[in-house]
């Protein structure tokens, strides 16, 4: 499946048309195209929010996860897996000096951890899409240290 087709599947899953997520000349815009809730599929418990932004990468978008711990995860797709899943890398940041989440002046982004997110277009159900997420490294000082046994946990992205 082509990246454009996967993008269309994702946009349908997120209740948008494919044209609303078309790649823009800028790397990313400051206003998200979509906002929603991050959930645990088995309990449907919310553990944060997410935003989708247009981007000039091959997929035409990137995501920003905002878990309830106050960190920010930048999630960027990088390839389509043979089974059709969209493979993404994420970097988790702690925002130092962030007093107003809508204003970025004075923020310092401190990298905390990172890993992979797999989004599965085959799991589209109305306004949600399922996937998995694994932390593959954590920061120790200024060094990325690999996780010895990363485990993928299920995630669900939903639009209200």
Q: What is the pLDDT of residues 87-139, one digit of tens each?
A: 999 999 998 876 666 666 777 889 999 999 999 999 998 899 999 999 999 99
**Rounded Cα distance, 1 and 118, in Å:** 15
What's the Rg (C-alpha) of the chain? 15
pLDDT digits (tens, 9 = 90+) for 134-159: 999 999 999 999 999 999 999 999 99
pTM for this structure? 0.78
**Tokens read off for 133:** 């997420």
Residue carrying the six token digits 């925002």: 95
Question: What integer pLDDT is reported at residue 109 of this predicted model?
Answer: 85
122, two tokens: 């085959």
């Amino acid at each position: 499946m082509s990246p454009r087709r996967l993008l269309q599947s994702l946009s349908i899953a997120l209740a948008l048309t494919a044209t609303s997520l078309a790649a823009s000349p800028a790397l990313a815009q400051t206003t998200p195209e979509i906002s929603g809730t991050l959930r645990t599929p088995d309990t449907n418990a919310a553990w944060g929010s997410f935003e989708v932004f247009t981007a000039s990468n091959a997929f035409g978008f990137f995501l920003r996860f905002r878990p309830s711990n106050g960190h920010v995860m930048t999630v960027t797709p990088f390839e389509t897996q043979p089974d059709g899943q969209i493979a993404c890398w994420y970097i988790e940041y702690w925002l130092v000096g962030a007093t107003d989440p809508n204003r970025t002046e004075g923020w310092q982004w401190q990298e905390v951890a990172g890993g992979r997110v797999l989004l599965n277009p085959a799991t589209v159900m109305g306004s949600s899409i399922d996937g998995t997420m694994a932390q593959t490294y954590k920061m120790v000082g200024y060094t990325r240290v690999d996780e010895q046994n990363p485990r993928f946990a299920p995630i669900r992205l939903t639009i209200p």
